[in-house]
Amino acid sequence: MFFSKKNRIYAPVAGTFVPLKEVNDPVFAQGMMGDGVAVEPKETHILSPVDGTVTMISEQQHGIGIQMEDGTDLLIHMGIDTVELGGTPFLTKVAIGDKVSSGDLLSIMDIEAIQSLGKETVIMLIATGKQLSKVQFSSRREVEASSELARI
């Protein structure tokens, strides 16, 4: 099967790749929201992992939805239980309807503030309604921002 750029999911930030099943949230770890991957961030600037159109920004700014060119919906979920923080640790840099390319700035995430409030900062990338055809890694490892993580 031929994979073009539109089938690829890239790291939204430099950090540690985490298999989704190891995320400390059963809803995500058990795949209830969909198939995906995760990254524990080392940087604050969260980049778009795909090309597409912004379709959703959660009220608390911890989640951004992007519809990819093939119609796949990708959820970028920043942190675990960060919905409880009222949006203050996030500065969203896109709006619903914006066209984005992989590598474009989506949000600035205050990692220190999130951690100081006892929350985890892992970023989950969830392809809702689709299975990933290939995940680049099977265990934790360091990744650079914009490096390929998975294919749909």
Global confidence as pTM: 0.93
Mapped onto helix, strand or coil, the DSSP state of residue 70 is coil
pLDDT in tens, 12-50: 999 999 999 999 999 999 999 999 999 999 999 999 999
In the chain, helix, strand, coil percent, each to 5? 15, 45, 45
Residue 2 pLDDT level (bands cut at 50, 70, 90): very low
Residues with a catalytic annotation lie at: 77
Coil, strand or helix: which one is 121? strand
Which residues neighbour 55 within 8 Å (Cβ) at sequence distance 6 or greater? 65, 66, 67, 73, 96
Structural domains in the chain?
5-145 (2.70.70.10)
